[in-house]
Amino acid sequence: MHFQNYHDSVEKLAKKIKTWNKDIKVILHLHNFYDFKNKNFDKLDAVITCSDFFMKNFEGLPNAKIYKVIKNGVDIDKFKKINFKKDKKIIIGFVGRIVSQKNVEYMIELAREFKNYLIKKIKEYNLNNIDFLDNISPDKVYTAYNSFDFTIVPLNDREPFCMVGIEAMSCESFVIARAGGGSKEYMLDDENCKLFEFENFAKNIKEYILNLKDSDKLKIITNARKMCEENFSWDKITDDVQKIYEEVLNDNSK
């Protein structure tokens, strides 16, 4: 039995399952933080987290038999460069829930920085063909990444992993981020993305984009796609899960 994410009935269900058959193995796979104080995972055979950072923050908490890390995966056959973009407009995007922990206000500040810059250019060159776009629906998210030249990812320090990062990288959208939490395990500055801290975040990104060389951009997005293929494909993640299943099935400890 493999539970995805925690809910209040996990411990009760695990205990009930063991009363049916003590040989049934129960695994809890965590992707988000919860309050685990006063929880008892002694009926769980394994707990899986999505990053080393998440696992470290789990130390000293409930007592499952086995603890393992499996990074999140991305469908590299779906999340890939489609090459349907037909114009030379620079599109900067953000993907995420509009909640405080996603720090969307930094994307808004960046939009304002570029809007102020573009307004000056619009007046200077008498342009009238620039639009500021609204939301994109979740079912088209992989096409959204293909529309974005740059994906902005302003993360806090409690981010367990960050799926947006690897999805954008897999689509070869250039990731510019403030890395935090588990994302630091794969976001490498000037190798597969560009990282900035929150201080002067919007201004620094604007200047970086305006001065980025095409050769440097190509190097970084190529590295990012290669990393996703080698480390985050579903084939790789499936192999990792299979190994944990085998370890749990072969564990006879009480």
Position 127 scores a pLDDT of: 47
Backbone angles phi, psi at 224, to 5 degrees: -65, -45
Position 102 scores a pLDDT of: 57
pLDDT in tens, 14-23: 999 999 998 9
State the DSSP code for 144: H
User: What is the H or E stretch that residue 92 is in?
Assistant: strand 92-93
Position 221 scores a pLDDT of: 97
pLDDT in tens, 92-144: 777 765 545 555 566 667 667 666 665 565 556 554 544 444 556 667 788 88
Backbone angles phi, psi at 140, to 5 degrees: -110, 25
Give percent above pLDDT 70 in the chain: 80
Q: Alpha carbon of 134 to those of 1, 88, 94, 111: distances in Å?
A: 42, 19, 11, 12
Backbone angles phi, psi at 135, to 5 degrees: -70, 160
**Cβ pair 183, 155 in contact under 8 A:** yes
Q: In angstroms, rounded to a whole number, what is the distance separating the alpha carbons of residues 152 and 141?
A: 14
Query: Average pLDDT, stretch 1-15?
Result: 90
Looking at the whole model, is its pTM more than 0.85? Answer: no
82 pLDDT above the threshold of 90: no
Instruction: Compute the C-alpha angle 180/182/185, nearest 5°.
Output: 100
Position 86 scores a pLDDT of: 59
* 161 Cβ neighbours under 8 A, 6+ residues apart: 31, 50, 51, 54, 71, 72, 181, 182, 183
Structure-block tokens of residue 22: 């003590």
pLDDT in tens, 120-129: 655 565 545 4
